[in-house]
Structure 1
């Protein structure tokens, strides 16, 4: 198997994403990746990361790939859970306090929220992105709590619509919502919204 064939074979097995560092250890030169890119077989999306040129670009998966500890949250999580129908202008993620990612500099595309490590994974679940890749997102109850807590930094109409949609959702879990509200010390705020929109 040639170096090119090995890379393309790995690409198929790895959801259409490849990192050059995975092949540097095997002695495969970056020139092979550049040649494949020139041939239109792969596409460079950031330093050392290429995707299958024939696949649709999955921004959710790429962001998750580049920020492995990030969990999709706030308006992005609302969209993933069908609690709002407006596609997010920026992809929003929550990362543990102190975690650093190069994506922080790209603040016209991404918005990050910090959370203490002990609370970071509460409500985390895996779902499929619109393109069929596995991504991490907060569940609906955690997302509602996060949006109410940060409502001043979000689009108020989106938050109100999302809470209304959640109230109508037959799969809503008020007990879980209440337990998260207690953890994040926003019980009265959650009650207030639930009463007004009930």
Structure 2
């Protein structure tokens, strides 16, 4: 089978294609099955397929394509801001509390999903560029509020290092931190933890 014309559809979509995009390009959905049998394509979740290039497709591309609605949070955000030296074992991602849980059942990349209520989900969203992809990420202040909120579920060492590093960050915005803490009902706890360092 001449695969170049099919590969072109994948190339135009960063290597990951939605079935509707593939059929929209004029190809029958049974072609995907043939490409899978020939080892050219793998199914990454229902309705999404990845071309098997020699170079591995970036995790950021997969996240962006499959989950355009997620926001990088917690340990992953700490890593992006250099508030931790520990590389997270999974992508920590925030999503609307009402999102279907089954859509996050994939083998690769590893995901840790936080289901957040709407009023907290929209606070402090920023953007970052990673591996050529623009991804949504919580800003430093929202990230600090999140780890304070989930302190008991966090590794103590990671938590303490992140708090100390934020306190010495020249880009920190303490007014914004307190504003977010108020919105998230953790103002007292935030002032107590940060008060010793700021």
Fold match (TM-score > 0.5): yes
Tell me the residue number matched to 1:172. Answer: 172
Aligned to 1:194: 194
Instruction: Name the structure 1 match of 2:143.
Output: 143
For residues 8 and 105 of structure 2, what CA distance do their matches in structure 1 show? Answer: 33
Deviation of the 1:13 alpha carbon:
3.2
Cα 1:107–1:122 shift into 2, 3 Å: farther
Change (3 A) 1:180 1:6: farther
Aligned counterpart, 2:128: 127
Cα shift readout 1:147-184 (whole Å, capped 9, x = no counterpart): 11001112121111111111121111111111101101
Secondary structure of the 2:196 match is helix
- Mark the CA change 1:170 to 1:88 in structure 2 (over 3 Å): closer, same or farther: same
Asked if 1 retains the 8 angstrom alpha-carbon contact of 2:127 and 2:134, the reply is yes
Verify the 8 A CA contact 1:61 1:135 in the aligned structure 2.
Answer: no
The change in CA–CA distance for 1:48 and 1:107 in structure 2 (over 3 A counts) is closer
1:144 CA drift (Å): 0.4
1:74 aligns with 2:74: yes
Aligned length: 196
Measure how far apart 1:34 and its partner are. Answer: 4.8
Per the TM alignment, residue 74 of structure 1 is displaced from its structure 2 partner at its CA by 0.7
Farther-moved stretch of structure 1 (73-82 vs 53-62): 53-62
Given that residues 15 and 133 in structure 1 are in contact (C-alpha distance below 8 angstroms), is that contact kept between their aligned partners in structure 2?
Answer: no
Task: Check conservation: 2:71, 2:95, Cα contact below 8 A.
Answer: yes
Indicate the residue corresponding to 2:62 in structure 1: 62
Change (3 A) 1:19 1:55: farther
Counterpart CA distance in 2 for 1:24 and 1:107 is 25
Is the CA contact (8 Å cut-off) linking 2:44 and 2:106 kept in structure 1?
no
Q: Is the 8 A contact 2:64 2:133 kept in 1?
A: no
The alpha-carbon distance between structure 1 residues 167 and 100, as it changes in their structure 2 partners (threshold 3 A), is same
Instruction: Give the whole-Å Cα distance in 2 for the aligned partners of 1:26 and 1:183.
Output: 46
Residue matched to 2:28: 29
Shift of 1:125: 1.5
Unpaired runs of at least 5, structure 2: none
Residue 40 of structure 1: CA displacement? 6.3
Q: For residue 51 of structure 1, what is the aligned residue in structure 2?
A: 50
1:115 aligns to what? 116
Runs of 5+ consecutive residues of structure 1 not aligned to the other structure: none
Secondary structure of residue in 2 paired with 1:28: coil
TM-score scaled by length of structure 2:
0.83
Distance between the aligned counterparts of 1:97 and 1:61, measured in 2? 23
